[in-house]
Every structure is written in structure tokens, then in C-alpha cells.
Amino acid sequence: MPAPARSASVGRNSLRGPGFATVDMLLSKNVALSTTASVQFRLEGFNIFNRANFAAPVAASATPLTIGARGIGVINTAAGRITSLVGDARRMQFAVRFNF
């Protein structure tokens, strides 16, 4: 039988989750066809380093301490776990734009 747990007072927002960071890049080349017409080639990359951005830990739905049978506190082992990702994976796109 696990040892009974006790409730403690911890300030709000005292724990911080993982940060969110992505690096986006754009390369473009303009080519003049005449005095009024031009073509633009674009290569765009989003999250080019393919960094994994983790979601906030589970806290709202899973409380760290619940009151079990006979009034004894039970520690919830699922509280505080990071179970998902946020943001997109690396994405590249190429575009050609004709200006006249």
C-alpha cells in the first residue's frame, strides 16, 4: 500500500512548460522580363530545423492529488506528463509569381 499523500499549497503558475520556437525562411529571386513584366521564384520553408515543440503538461484534467477511499490522498501519476506536440512539422513550398 502506497504511503498517504498530503495536499500542499503551491502558487499559481509556479511551474512553466516547454518553450515554443520555429525558424521560418524565405528565398526569392526576381527576374525582369521587360520593363513592365517580371517573374519571381520563391522557396519558403516553415520550421526548417524540424524542432519538436511539446504541449503543456496535463494539469487541468488530472489533479496531482485525489482523495481516495477512506479519505486517504492518492497521487495521480498522469498529472504533469507531456503527451502531445503542438505546431507543424517541417514544410517547404515553391512558388512562381508572374507580375505584369
The SS3 of residue 83 is coil
Q: Give the pLDDT score at 4.
A: 60
What pLDDT is recorded for position 6?
59
Give residue 82's pLDDT.
Answer: 81
Residue 15: what pLDDT? Answer: 67
Phi and psi of 69, rounded to 5°?
Answer: -65, 145
Ranges of residues in the chain whose predicted pLDDT is under 50: none
The phi and psi torsions of 65 (rounded to 5 degrees) equal -135, 125
pLDDT number for residue 41 = 97
Q: What is the pLDDT of residue 17?
A: 75
- Name the pTM for this structure: 0.60
- Residues 6+ away with beta carbon under 8 Å from 70: none
Q: Where are the domains of the chain?
A: 25-99
